[in-house]
Structure formats: structure tokens, C-alpha cells
Amino acid sequence: MRAFLLRRVLAAAPLLLGSLTLLFLLLQLVPGRPFTAEAGAGVSPVAAERLRRISGADQPIAARYLAWVGGMLGGDLGYSWSERRPVADAVQEAASRTLLLTGTAIALQFAIGLGLGLLAAAAGPRLDRLLTAVAGILYSVPSFWLGLLLVGFFSVRLGWLPVSQIHSSDAGAWGTWPRLLDAARHLVLPCLALALPGAGGIALFVRDEVRAALAEGLALSARSRGLGRTRMVLRHGAGRALLAVSVLFGLAIPGLLGGSVVIETLFAWPGMGRLAYQGTLARDEPLVLGCAGVAALLVIAGSLAADVLSAAVDPRVRESLR
């Protein structure tokens, strides 16, 4: 297991380096040079030259690459001029909120997906068809649309849940429990919007996997000896479902992080996705690149965790990479 872990970590490192290199290459594709004095712009050629020297833009590309990647890896993501503070500070603050949102969403997604999938696998043909249809529809619904509909119904029409933000504006003066409740109320809608479409996909996958497991000889012989349907699913199907989930776990993270850009923006949730979006509108290159680098780090860490998870539940995975 330890050798496996070491191997996976060693394989993940070049992936991170590769993502940073990709971002750097994109940056190089931008036409024009930094601080180019255009006719009429208020920067004199002398000042532009000095700015280029201070910012290191006059260095050869290899030196700039090393400086940029080294900075990113060392935690120096540059300075965000729209936020007026170091990118690392802004991203750090936002990343914890994004982790709260996506972490809750991922737990909810797998809980609902696993439950729905196992239920459909255990159910008779009619209920199975209904549950499969529900899961298929959930899977096809855009998360941002779901978010807008949820807000329209639960916040605007019924007034039950807050429309946006991470906590109420006067929550600072409240006690611990009201504050936690307030935070939870703000989390419900964005979390559901983010989790439900993916949960539908997981349910479909889990159902098919469990059904396939139940059609195998071992399960069939157990059934012929009189094992009940529910116990069949739990004893012979649940293991397979767990394997499926450990594979899907790593695949779900990029989708959730991408989805959180839209959901955070819609719900004014002050996380990384919204930060990157605001950076995009302000054309704040260091901020957006910093967010993208951290997003890549999170995806790679997530898929590493998924690999470890699937190695922990499936001996075949451990063996295959020995």
C-alpha cells in the first residue's frame, strides 16, 4: 500500500507542473508586450521600459517561466490589482468557502446518488423505471438552471431560504447556534443545485453496476438458494457500488469545481469560482491564473484521493500497479 501511495504521489507531481506550464504557455499566447505604450496612453516609453524591468517582463522566456512556476509552487501567486492584495491571500480566503460548498455538495451528491442507485437496483421493474427516469432527468438538468428555479421557488415565491450570500449581514452579532443555522440555511440552495445533477449520474451508474453484479453467477446462486432481494443487493451489490463510487469520486471533482464558478456567481457565494469570475470581468490575469492553478491542485489532489480510495476498497487496483 505504501509503495502504491508513493507511486501515485510521484505521478501526480508532473501533472501539477504540466498544468502550470499550460497556464504559462497560454499567457505567452497573448498578443502584444506588457506595458506597451500606445499612442495617447499616459505611459512614456521610459516609464514603460522601467516597468518592464521591475516586473521582469524584459527577461528571456526561460527565466520568466522558471520565475513564474517557482513562484506558483512556492505559494507566491502574484499581485491582484483588482483585489489590491496578493493573489495568495484572496485565493486562500475564498478556497475555504469553496471547499465548504463543494465538500458538502460532494457528500450530498454521493449520498443521494448511492441511495437512489441502490434503491433502483433493488426495486421491481416499475419502481426501477420511475427511479431511473428521475435520475436521468436530474442528470440532464443544468445545475445553474436548477439553482435559478430553486431560488425562484424557495426564496422569491415562498421566502423560506435566503437568495444569496454566505451569511446574513447582521449575523456577526448573533450567538453560535443561530449563526450556524444561518450559515446552513445559506448553504442549502447552492449545495442542492450543485449536487443534484451529479447525483442523478451517480445513481444511474450505481444502478447499472449493481444490476450487473447481481446477474453474475455468485449472486444468482445465492438467489437460487433463497436469498431475498434486499439482502442480495446489500450483500452482493453494495460492494460493487462502493467500487463504482470510488472511481467516480475523482471524476466528480473537476465538474464540481467548474460548476461552482456558475453557482457561486449566481448565489453571490464569495468562493474561488466567483473570485475567478470577477477576475475575468476585471481582466485581472494574476488573479485568474492563480485561481486556475489552485483549481488544478485541488483536482489533482482529489483524483489522488480517489485512487487511494479505490486501492483501499479494491485489491485488484493495488495489484495492478505493483
Partner 1 sequence: MTGAGNAIPPRPRRAGPRILLVLALLALTAPWIAPRPPDLQEDVAGARLLPPGTRAHALRTASGLRIVTDLARTADGWSGRRMRTIEAFRDQDLLAPPEPRLYLLGTDALGRDLTSRLLFGLRHSAGIALCAVALALLLAITVGSVAALGGAAWDALLMRGVDVLMSIPRLVLFLVCATLFAPTALLLVLVLGATTWTGLARIVRAGLQTLAGGSLRAAAQAAGAAPLRVLARHLLPQLVPALAVGAALRFADTVLLESAVSLLGLGAPPPAVSLGGIMASGRESLAGGWWLTALPGLLLAVLVLALRATATSLDRTLDPPSLA
All three cell numbers of 79: 499581485
Q: Is 254 a binder of partner 1 (CB under 8 A)?
A: yes
Q: Is 288 a binder of partner 1 (CB under 8 A)?
A: yes
Measured CA to CA, the distance from residue 262 to residue 280 in angstroms comes to 13
Q: How far is CA 125 from CA 122, 133, 204, 238, in A?
A: 9, 12, 15, 19
Measured CA to CA, the distance from residue 314 to residue 301 in angstroms comes to 20
Q: Is 295 a binder of partner 1 (CB under 8 A)?
A: yes
The total number of residues written for the chain in this structure: 322
Q: Is 292 a binder of partner 1 (CB under 8 A)?
A: yes
Range 140-159, binding partner 1 (CB under 8 A): 140-142, 144-145, 148-149, 151-152, 156-157
Question: Which CB atom, from 50 or from 153, has the smaller least distance to partner 1?
Answer: 153
Range 7-36, binding partner 1 (CB under 8 A): 14-16, 18-19, 21-23, 26-27, 29-30
Question: Which CB atom, from 160 or from 180, has the smaller least distance to partner 1?
Answer: 160
Question: Which CB atom, from 50 or from 145, has the smaller least distance to partner 1?
Answer: 145
Q: Are 271 and 264 spatial neighbours (Cβ–Cβ below 8 Å)?
A: yes
Q: Is 306 a binder of partner 1 (CB under 8 A)?
A: no
Range 255-284, binding partner 1 (CB under 8 A): 255, 257-259, 261-262, 265-266, 273, 276-277, 279-280, 283-284
Cross-strand bridge partners of residue 86: 79
Please, what is the minimum distance in Å from the beta carbon of residue 125 to partner 1? 12
Measured CA to CA, the distance from residue 213 to residue 166 in angstroms comes to 43
Which of 68, 139, 205, 269 touches partner 1 by CB under 8 A? 139
Range 109-138, binding partner 1 (CB under 8 A): 136-137
Residue 114 corresponds to which amino acid? L
Please, what is the minimum distance in Å from the beta carbon of residue 176 to partner 1? 33
Q: Are 49 and 33 spatial neighbours (Cβ–Cβ below 8 Å)?
A: no
Kindly tell me the sign of the dihedral angle through the C-alpha atoms of 141, 147, 148, 149.
positive
DSSP percent split of the chain into helix, strand, coil, nearest 5: 80, 0, 20
Measured CA to CA, the distance from residue 93 to residue 224 in angstroms comes to 58
| Number of Cβ within a 10 Å radius of residue 35 | 19
Please, what is the minimum distance in Å from the beta carbon of residue 306 to partner 1? 13
Q: Is 44 a binder of partner 1 (CB under 8 A)?
A: no
Q: Is 248 a binder of partner 1 (CB under 8 A)?
A: no
Residue 180 corresponds to which amino acid? L
Q: Is 76 a binder of partner 1 (CB under 8 A)?
A: no
Helix or strand run (H / E) with residue 85:
strand 85-86
Residue ranges that bind partner 1, judged by CB under 8 A: 14-16, 18-19, 21-23, 26-27, 29-30, 136-137, 139-142, 144-145, 148-149, 151-152, 156-157, 215, 254-255, 257-259, 261-262, 265-266, 273, 276-277, 279-280, 283-285, 288-289, 291-292, 295-296, 299-300, 303
